[in-house]
Chains A and B, each alone.
Chain A
């Protein structure tokens, strides 16, 4: 399956600063990537669908001006958390999908964001 690299794995930042998270598809050209958020002991919540060369599609309730997504190439999507606040502290995970009988998602290792 596809290999997905996510960087950084852990970031600590001060409240009010912006943080950029990178998601790379290492062996697969991904026209679409997905960004999820996971709070402790909760499920993966889809935040947005990142589309190469066009605007991302955000899920209801996700602020697009706060979570900026850029998918400039077939192998890289970035999520920027702007003006981060402590409530943005979470585990952010990206994925790409690759088809077999059904489309399977291949996930990055995730980024733990802690906002002080």
Chain B
């Protein structure tokens, strides 16, 4: 049973446009969520997070939206840049001070075309 799902394995957008990456989860106990970005042959790097007490968190070009009732979150990148091309992982966990067990989705490969 996959608790965190990223149903789109890939996404292609034009430079300057908005990129929207989606993530769904099934475990209602999850109360914080993170997005990581990963380049080939590198480890993931933290991008942005959101806890369940919020429905939106913004950091520069990156905004994460959380819809708890739908168990859905999304990452918006505006404007998209070619350097944003990478694999984006959604992760979720229980409790703000957790034991470390984030559950990761399968990732979405974003390609931003110049």
**Does A93 reach chain B (CB closer than 8 Å)?**
yes
Instruction: Show the binding face of A for B, using Cβ within 8 Å.
Output: 1, 4, 6, 9, 32, 34, 41-46, 49, 93, 95, 97, 99-110, 112
- Chain B residues positioned under 8 Å from A101 (CB to CB): 49, 51, 96
Interface footprint category on B: 20 to 34
Q: Which residue of A lies closest to B31 (CB)?
A: A102
Give me 8 A-to-B residue pairs in the complex whose CB atoms sit less than 8 angstroms apart, sorted by A's number.
A4-B43, A41-B106, A42-B106, A43-B105, A44-B44, A107-B43, A108-B43, A109-B41
* B contact set with A: CB distance below 8 Å: 4, 9, 32, 34, 36, 41-46, 49, 51, 89, 93, 96-102, 104-107
- Cβ-defined contact, A103 with B106, below 8 A: no
Top 7 A-B pairs, shortest CB-CB distance: A107-B43, A102-B32, A43-B104, A44-B104, A43-B106, A104-B46, A110-B43
A42 / chain B contacts, CB cutoff of 8 Å: 106
**A46 vs B4: C-alpha distance in the bound complex, in angstroms?**
14
Contact assessment for A106 and B46 in the assembled complex, using a CB-CB cutoff below 8 Å: yes
A97 and B100 form a contact (CB under 8 A)? yes
Q: Decide: A103 near B97, CB < 8 A? Known: A108-B43, A110-B42.
A: yes
